[in-house]
Amino acid sequence: MAMKKNILFGALVFLLAGHIVFAQKTSTVYFTKDISGQGVLKVYQKIKDSVKGRVAVKVHFGEEGNKNYLKPELSKPLVELLKATYVETNVLYSGPRQKTESHIKLAKAHGFGFAPIDILDSQGEKIYICSTACYTRVLAGSHMDRYNTFIIFSHFKGHGLAGFGGAIKNVAMGLASRMGKRAMHADYVPDYDTSKCIRCGTCVKQCPAGAISINPLKIDTRKCIGCGQCLKDCPVQAFEASRDRISSELFNRRLVEYAKVLSDSNHFVYINVLANISPDCDCSGRARKPFTGDIGILASTDLVAIEQASLDLVNQAHKCQDAFLKESGRSGNMQIEYAARLGMGSRKYKLIGVD
């Protein structure tokens, strides 16, 4: 009973904190137009004093069928310079990234094999006890404690549910264990269009929760774990990310809270690469074409500032106020607003070119 009260009190304090307007300092974000390994080193030089001890570089090794992920050539000089380890976690949906052995095999096939690779949740979970509005615990890989600094190396691009996926998502979803990912996706049930279904049976076979039936097409909402596998697999796009606005907002809140707990407990610095900016995430097997030209690479020690600067640059390049809303029907603004409200960084920044 006492524990329950403490959790409720903690959640209340967390919610109230969310409504306090934090006096925003101006953070620094470094920028280069040079999208290469050398460009990464240039921006890294500006934040290197914050990188200490054993270093992990958190990347996405790429999905089969999606060419937009950040190629190893970009991070290689940095990883070699720091004798760092590439880190990732296993995913919810089926495919090579679901299991450690096949995940590492895929990483090597995509050219990341020149450095050590550590799948952080390959030997279980680390539990972070917390009291955020959505969570009382956050689940990440048990190998988190092996590293003193994490360089969160993120591809800034669209995301069907969150609006965009950048550093916040790379921390939250990228470092969460499979059960942590499930906790963020839970009750995100895709929409579906029965008239498009050609009854190939793929979704029924691949759904890890046995939630789909196809005569007619239907998802059992009590079983669905929101993994997104069906969106990825269906050959005729009969599924799509739910258009329910609350669901998208809730997903973004969950992402931000996961990122907050993990960034409060670990030491992170951030590098965002603005290239191949598709409306879709790198986990999508059928990502659409980039909607704007390549922009550059940013680095910062402030999570909110680097996301805000990245979003502003994409909007500027696309000549509109909200590029992701325009291209995929989802705004990413809420993600940044909520992170700023939780005191995770500053939306005010100074962009300093290093070219």
Binding site for ligand SF4 (CB under 6 A): 190, 197-203, 207-209, 211-212, 214, 217, 219, 224-230, 233-236, 238
Among residues 126 and 181, whose Cβ is nearest to ligand SF4? 181
Q: How many residues in the chain?
A: 355
Amino acid at 258: Y
**Residues 61-84: b if buried by 16+ CB within 10 A, e if exposed:** bbbeebebbbbbebbbbbbeebeb
Is residue 353 within 8 A of residue 31, CB to CB? The reply is yes
Name which of 183 and 203 has its Cβ closer to ligand SF4: 203
Tell me how far, at minimum, the Cβ of 264 lies from ligand SF4, in Å: 30
Instruction: Tell which phi-psi region holds residue 329, choosing left (phi > 0), alpha (psi between -120 and 50) or beta.
Output: left
Toward ligand SF4, which CB reaches closer, 227 or 311? 227
* Rounded Cα gap, residues 112 and 305, in angstroms: 29
Q: How far is residue 264's CA from residue 259's CA, in Å, rounded to a whole number?
A: 8
CA–CA separation, 330 and 154 (whole Å): 20
Give me the least distance between CB of 138 and ligand SF4, in Å please: 22
Smallest separation (angstroms) from ligand SF4 to the CB of 273: 28
Q: Which is nearer to ligand SF4, 210 or 293 (CB)?
A: 210
Shortest reach from residue 247's CB to ligand SF4, in Å: 12
197 or 314: CB nearest ligand SF4: 197
Q: Choose between 118 and 282: whose C-beta lies nearer to ligand SF4.
A: 282
Question: What are the backbone angles phi and psi of residue 92, rounded to the nearest 5°?
Answer: -75, -45
In the three-class reduction of DSSP (H, G, I as helix; E, B as strand; rest coil), residue 323 is classed as: helix
Q: How far is the CB of 218 from ligand SF4 (least distance, A)?
A: 10
Least distance from ligand SF4 to the Cβ atom of residue 169, Å: 18
